Structure 1
C-alpha cells in the first residue's frame, strides 16, 4: 500500500486501530495468538481476561514496547508494525500501566508538564527546565486544564507525587498520558492496586476524560474486574 493510499484510508476508515493475525512468541510460549481486532474511532472498548492471558503483552505490541512474531498493526489506516515507540507516540498512541509509572520526587504539576514538554519536542531534564524555545505559560495552562479534567486535587498539585494517595497517582498517570495529546489511549488495569472504595474515583475520572474529549479520543481498556468493565465500556471483547 502506498503512502497516499494509507492517508486516504485513514480519512475514511471507521477503525482507529486494527490488528491482523497479531502473534507474539517467547521461545515456546505463545503469549498473544493470532489476534485480529478492530477498534472503532471514538469508542471505549475493553479487553477482558484473567491475569497471564496476554493482555499486557498485547498492549506492549500496540505501543511498540515489543515487536510481534507475526501479524500487522494499523493505526488510522497506516501500517505501524515496524514503527518505534517514539514514532507511535508521535502518531497519537499513549498508555497507562498496571504499576504506576510516575516521577515520584517531582510534583504532580511537574509530572504532567514534563509529559507535555516531551510531546512538544522540547528537551527536558528532571529539574523541569525548558531546553529550547517554548512558552512556560502555554504548558502551565495545559497542565491545569488536564488536571481539572481528570479531577486531580488542586491542593496537591505542588506536592511530590510520591506523597499523594494512590487513587490520585492513578489519575496523575492518566493525566500524563493525556498530556502527550493522544488520539488512542490504552489503559492497562487502571484500578490495579486500589482499595475498593477508591475505584469509583478512577472510573469517574476516565468517564470525565471521555466526556471532555468526545470522539477526538478513543479508549482501549485492559481489565479483569467485570464491575469496572461494565461501568466503562461500550463494547467488551
Structure 2
C-alpha cells in the first residue's frame, strides 16, 4: 500500500473594483498618518523642546521618549497590523516575515524609550521626579505588558511551529489557526491603548511646560494638538482596514489529504 499526498494550494480571493479603490485610498491615508505622526513628534521635539541628548542633559533625553514610543507603538506596530492587508501580492511566509520584522524594529524603540523617561525622572535636577505615579505611566505599563503578551508568545509559537514542527505542519495547523484571532485581538487592543497613552502623555507634557500659555493656542500647542489628532485618525483608519472582511487577504481553505 502506498501513501499519496495531495496539497491544496490556497488561492487569494480578489476584491471588487470598488473595494480595491476604497482599500487603496484608506491604505494611502494610513501611510500619510503614520509617517505624519513621526514627523510631527520629531518636529515638536526639535523646534520647541530643544532636540535630543542622552544622560548629559535629562531634559533633552526625555525628548527621546515620545519620539521612540510613537515610532515603536504607532509607526512600526501600525505597519505590522497592516502587513496582512498591504502585502497581498506576496506569499504567506513572506508576509509573516515582514510582520515579524516590524515588531522586531518596534521592540528596541519601546525599550530605549522607557529607559529615557526613567533616566529623565531619576536624573532630574535639582529634585528627581517620582516614577509611575501618573495615569499616563500606569496606562503605559499596561500597554507595554499587553504588547509583551502579544508579541513574545507569537515569536515562541512561530519559532517552534515553523522550525521544529515542520515535520507535522498539518497537525499544528489548527493550533496555529486558533491563535490568530487571539493575536489579532491583542494587537488592536494594544494599539488602542497605545494611542490613548500617547494622548495622556502629550496632555501631561504640555500642561507641565506651557500651561500658562496653552489656552492662547501657541504654535507649540497647535503642533501637539495636531499630533494627537493624527494619532486618533491613524487609529480609526487602521481599525477600519484591519476589521473589514472585504479587505482581508482571503484564501480558500487548504490542507493535505492522505490516502493509504
**TM-score after normalising by structure 1:** 0.31
Q: Which has the higher helix share?
A: 2
**TM-score after normalising by structure 2:** 0.29
